[in-house]
């Protein structure tokens, strides 16, 4: 188990949230799948719900505005020591601010950024709220990766913004691991050369995808389908664990993963 009680180093994923058209259905689905409880922050916070694991916040969830398009995803937030400075660095590297830096009720300072290929992520500079209080154990995130057609261009951007070291994985897969330069810790990956076609003439927007740790990937898949979600692939074994690519009832993609013993520690 990894419990987080202070701000993590800059460049480390530190929070997740999502906006969905049916909040109550989402709470039932994710609560059953991950054992989450939910705490509504009230009307002044737009009824933003903290998703809690054993009373500790691990993610956020809210009702999606009516005028938003019918495509939803988990937003991955990355720790920032200086949110405004990182937004400027992202703009200098070809990205753009979708949501300009703003304070969130004394909890922290946030922004939403889009990389040059369209991949969207958040920045979180924690004050009273440090982000996900539990990671790398069942019911919390264990990995995040960007799915994009051009891993080289994506790697250049994220390296310019966060100073990551880029480590291409050996073999035929176009996959680059992102490492914090200060300590060499792996914090995520870039899957390049991905097929972005969804059918019916639609293409997938480059996006970050989250892997949630589970005790049993096969049982998690059964819960996904029983709760109205779908399975894109798996479960399947890899050197890193047993995982499946799934979607919640609103079509949001994510992975469930039983990490190999040496992973997520």
Q: Where are the domains of the chain?
A: 2-126, 136-259
Q: Reply yes or no on whether the pLDDT at 71 is more than 90.
A: no
Q: Reply yes or no on whether the pLDDT at 198 is more than 70.
A: no
Across 115-126, average pLDDT? 96
Q: What's the whole-model pTM score?
A: 0.93
- CATH architecture of residue range(s) 136-259: Roll (3.10)
Tokens of 206: 């480059």
Contacts of 234 (CB under 8 A, 6+ apart): 217, 221, 242, 243, 244, 245
Residue 33: the pLDDT is 98
CATH number for region 2-126 = 3.10.180.10
Residue 67: the pLDDT is 55
Give the model confidence (pLDDT) of 217-234 as tens digits: 999 999 999 999 999 999
- CA–CA distance, 34 with 214 (Å, rounded to integer): 8
Across 70-88, average pLDDT? 92
Residue 205: the pLDDT is 79
């Amino acid at each position: 188990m990894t419990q987080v009680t202070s701000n993590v180093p800059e460049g480390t994923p530190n929070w997740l949230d999502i906006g969905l058209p049916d909040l109550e259905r989402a709470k039932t689905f994710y609560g059953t799948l991950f054992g989450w409880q939910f705490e509504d922050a009230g009307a002044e916070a737009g009824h933003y719900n903290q998703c809690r694991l054993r009373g500790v916040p691990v993610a956020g969830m809210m009702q999606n505005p009516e005028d938003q398009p019918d495509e939803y995803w988990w937003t991955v937030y990355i720790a920032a020591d200086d949110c405004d400075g990182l937004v400027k660095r992202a703009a200098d590297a070809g990205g753009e601010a979708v949501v300009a830096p703003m304070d969130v009720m004394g909890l922290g300072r946030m922004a939403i950024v889009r990389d040059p290929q369209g991949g969207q992520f958040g920045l979180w500079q924690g004050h009273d709220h440090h982000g996900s209080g539990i990671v790398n154990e069942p019911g919390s995130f264990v990995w995040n990766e960007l799915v994009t057609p051009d891993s080289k261009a994506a790697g250049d951007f994220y390296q310019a913004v966060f100073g990551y070291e880029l480590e291409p994985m050996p073999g035929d897969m176009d996959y680059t691991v992102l490492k914090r330069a200060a300590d060499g810790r792996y914090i995520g990956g870039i899957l390049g050369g991905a097929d972005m076609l969804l059918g019916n003439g639609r293409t997938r927007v480059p996006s970050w995808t989250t892997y949630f740790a589970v005790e049993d990937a096969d049982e998690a898949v059964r819960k996904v389908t029983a709760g109205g979600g779908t399975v894109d692939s798996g479960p399947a074994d890899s050197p890193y664990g047993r995982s499946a690519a799934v979607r919640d009832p609103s079509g949001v993609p994510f992975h469930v993963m039983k990490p190999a013993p040496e992973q997520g520690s």
